[in-house]
Amino acid sequence: MNISNKKLIFFLICLGNVTISFNVAAVTAAVPVIAGDLGIPDFLASKVIHYYLLPYGIGALLYAPLTRFFSYRTILSASMILFGLSCFFCARADQLLMLLIGRVGMGITAAGAIPLGLMMIGDIFEKHRRGRLVGLFFSCSFFASLFGIALSGIVDWRILFYIPVALTLFLAGLLMGLKTHWLDKVHGEKVNYTKIFTDCRIRNIFTFIFMVSFLYHGVHKWYGVFLSQDYHLDKIAISVFFIISILGGAFGQLIGGVISDKKGREVSVMIGVLGLGITVILLSMPHSLYILGIILFL
């Protein structure tokens, strides 16, 4: 396959990541606004978060096995189209139940973008280039989230769902129209998830990831409600604090990589876990907005 086709395919898988990442953090920030528009308490509106995350986590297990039977083109095109339809359903929702049904659909269909993207990078690109490409691939979700949060402070919350609809139509059109035999490839290899439970080393890694993710997301997904109820911030101010948090996360990834290279992964992980625990405890105490911004950045 020529270089231009490689670049275009990489652009497409990055665009898929951008599409699913655009409104993940933005919807979290917009929970108080959604609650006000639908006339429901913030606590009920916050269900839009885990009604997306739980199906996403389960759905992520489905896509790698599907590559044994269907091509990358078929799976990605179908999942993106269904993701767009789910977003449209959410945008048109006038009651919580409709919104939650749409969020379940979004979670299941969005779950394929990252595992399939990583599989495609591994299949198509040379080994010495994959690390940089994976880093660029994940940085797309950072910038998409940042842009989505910035918009959440100035546009109606329904726009946060309409934009991914347009992106999915564009992406699906390119996926179906690109003339390359590689997208029609069927992966063919069996995926065995039982190794996660039978291999002690892999099991320990996944257990650690689960525990840290549980702590982080258990707090992060309540940021919007927390800032609205405890600090009485409007949606623009909430978006600003979310941006501060995301910028801190990007900076932390960079510092963590440097520490990992110089001192080892164990030291980097220990510093990260301790820092996360301390900042979570600090969030339980009242602070000025300046101190709050520093804590969220950390």
Query: What tens digit of pLDDT does each residue of 177-214 get?
Result: 887 777 777 766 676 667 667 777 777 777 887 777 77
Structural domains in the chain (count): 2
Domain boundary (187, 214, 234) is at 187
Here the tokens at position 121 are 């990078």
Same domain, 221 and 247: yes
Model confidence pLDDT, tens digit, residues 216-256? 777 766 777 788 888 888 878 887 887 888 788 777 766 77
Q: What is the CATH number of the domain that holds 89?
A: 1.20.1250.20
Question: In this structure, is the dihedral angle defined by the CA atoms of residues 237, 238, 239 and 240, taken in order, positive or negative?
Answer: positive
**Owning domain of residue 30:** 1-187
164 has a pLDDT exceeding 90? yes
Same domain, 179 and 204: no
Residue 82 is predicted with a pLDDT of 96
Per-residue confidence at 142, pLDDT binned at 50, 70, 90?
Answer: confident
Domain boundary (139, 156, 187) is at 187
Q: CA-to-CA distance for 94 and 104, rounded, in angstroms?
A: 16
Q: CA-to-CA distance for 263 and 276, rounded, in angstroms?
A: 19
Segment 122-148 mean pLDDT: 79
Same domain, 31 and 95: yes
Q: CA-to-CA distance for 222 and 158, rounded, in angstroms?
A: 20
Same domain, 101 and 168: yes
Model confidence pLDDT, tens digit, residues 60-93? 888 888 888 888 888 999 999 999 999 999 999 9
Taking a C-beta distance cutoff of 8 angstroms, is the pair 236, 32 a contact? Answer: no
**DSSP code for 155:** S
Same domain, 212 and 95: no
